Amino acid sequence: MTALIFDCDGVLADTERYGHLPAFNATFERFGLPAHWSEQEYGEKLRIGGGKERMASLFDDPAFAAAVGAADRTESLLTWHKAKTAAFKRLVAEGRVPPRPGVARIIRAALAEGWTVAVASTSAEESVRAVLENAIGALIAQVPVFAGDVVPAKKPDPAIYELTVERLGLDKKQTLVVEDSRNGLLAATGAGLRCLVTVNGYTRGEDFTEAALVVSELGDPGRPPIEVLAARGPARPGDLVTLDDLRACLSGGDE
């Protein structure tokens, strides 16, 4: 059976810029922490997999560590991250983090064709489910989610994709991953899966050599045509990505 696995952040929605970054900064302000990330600084933090891990990197700054003086960093990080997740969910509920073009269209079409569709992310499960429900509504009942701390290592470690394949009994040769970053691409290919990349503003300049197809977005009718940034297989999308293009990504073989 053909399967399609979506990452969440940057794939289902442009969550980093419009959701996670403002949620982090709101949390820093709420707890009186001497930190505020600009868009450029947050772009650097995205190299670190996982929200708690990004927060933990604040302690790499001796001035921050001295100012906060948290006796139990682990407990503090859990408290901060819980508050950050709640702030993120509020932004999603308020419509501040709209789905990326083509996501609902492709998921709806794939389910109608009998494909297995899942989401695999190492972000907090509550956040992932909020974004997915905002994108596809009631169809969320048909899309299993693997997220949060269900695996010990974050992307680019392939653990989250290996878990998803194992739990759903998927055929790796018939499973395509949709990612947006090099870390995600490496996680997918490290698990032996083909990968399509939909770039965003933070990741457009990254190296996606291993991807079967790299596009600006999945696209929707009535929108400007997508940009095809790299095609290393038979897939040749037109104005938007279709299920036939996804099938072509799987049939392309290794280059």
CATH number at residue 88: 1.10.150.240
Alpha helices in 31-95 (DSSP H): 39-45, 51-56, 62-68, 73-93
Separation of alpha carbons 88 and 126, rounded Å = 10
Query: What is the distance between the alpha carbons of residues 10 and 181, in angstroms, rounded to a whole number?
Result: 8
Q: What angle do CA 181, 183, 187 make, to 5 degrees?
A: 115
Q: Which of 9, 14, 180, 245 is catalytic?
A: 9
- For residue 195, the 8-state DSSP code is E
How distant, in Å, are the alpha carbons of 44, 79, 138 from that of 27?
19, 10, 30
- 158 and 242 together in one domain: yes
The Cβ of residue 243 has, within 10 Å, a number of other Cβ atoms equal to: 16
pTM listed for this prediction:
0.89
Looking at the structure, tell me whether residues 28 and 134 fall in a common domain.
no
Tokens standing for residue 136: 């596809």
Q: Residues 117, 180: one domain? A: yes
Domain shared by 112 and 178, yes or no? yes
* Residues of the chain with confidence (pLDDT) below 70: 70, 252-255
149 is catalytic: no
The domain in which residue 28 lies consists of 16-93
Q: Give the per-residue pLDDT at 252.
A: 64
> Which pLDDT score is estimated for 23?
96
Could you tell me what percent of the chain has a pLDDT over 90?
86
pLDDT of residue 149: 86
Residue where one domain finishes, among candidates 59, 76, 93: 93
Residues 103, 115 within the same domain: yes
Domain closes at, from 51, 78, 93: 93
- List 198's β-bridge partners, or say none: 215
60 in active site: no
**Per-residue model confidence (pLDDT) at position 72:** 80
Do 21 and 141 fall within a single domain? Answer: no
The catalytically annotated residue of 7, 14, 157, 245 is 7
